[in-house]
Amino acid sequence: MRIDVVSIFPEYLEALNISLLGKAQDSGLLEINVHDLRDHTFDRHKTVDDTPYGGGAGMVMKPEPWALTLEGILEQSPVERPVLIVPTPSGEVFSQPGAYELAESEHLIFACGRYEGIDERMFHWARERFDVRLMSLGDYVLNGGEVAALAMIEAIGRLVPGVVGNPESLVEESHSDDGLLEYPVYTKPSSWREYEVPEILLSGDHARIAAWRKEQQAERTRTRRPDLWTKHQNMA
Ligand code: JCZ
């Protein structure tokens, strides 16, 4: 899979070069390219923003540096119409099913905005050339698209075949995806400070352990995520 990221803060994306995704790039499973939007400005100050028509607070990103940067990426695309993901709090909410779907793409491009967003005409231009997806991480406001892009790239990238070293972890994850939160986990020592590992986990009784874990999942989901609990109940 090829991933391109466009940002005025390319250093933000350096986190993609460590750990799992860093290794996946070294092995050639993933190719991630980060582009500085300011490389496609022509004035002394490398201006990427200007004041909003109609007035209002803040600045708006000019469309031309975006078009020039994205045209350069399009020329290198392995596909005719790549997916262009634009992080924004007014997009569709990114989810695990969405991550699985996007992991099937050969080429993803992330356009990380700043300020009050990008001139709306850039989206009209882009829809003629890309499958444009406006995507939100959730209902809270970040200062720009970079952190949202990092989260989405990690969620998608780990689903690309070969990226997760032990693929059984992914199989386990998908089998355990019954709409419930995970059960609590413990490791050695069995007695730590004044806290004990639940005795049942030391019992070796696998059937009772499985039943206990399911009950823990149900209880956690009921109390922490009543929205998921309602959904789960309507499925079972
Ligand atoms: C550009 N502010 C892009 C996305 N889920 C979520 N929250 N906030 C964002 C986001 C905020 C932004 C920009 C300027 C994404």
pLDDT in tens, 131-146: 999 999 999 999 999 9
CA of 32 to the centre of ligand 1 (A): 21
Enumerate residues lining ligand 1, CB below 6 A.
Answer: 87-89, 113-114, 117, 136-138, 140-145, 148
- What predicted TM-score, i.e. pTM, was given to this entire model? 0.98
Residue 177 has pLDDT above 90, yes or no: no
| Among candidate residues 112, 110, 117, the one with its CA nearest the CA of residue 83 | 110
Contacts of 2 (CB under 8 A, 6+ apart): 30, 31, 33, 77, 78, 106, 107, 108
CA of 142, closest atom in ligand 1: 8
CA of 225 to the centre of ligand 1 (A): 24
Mean pLDDT of the chain: 97
Q: Cβ(162)–Cβ(169) under 8 Å?
A: no
Confidence label for 172 from pLDDT (cuts 50, 70 and 90): confident
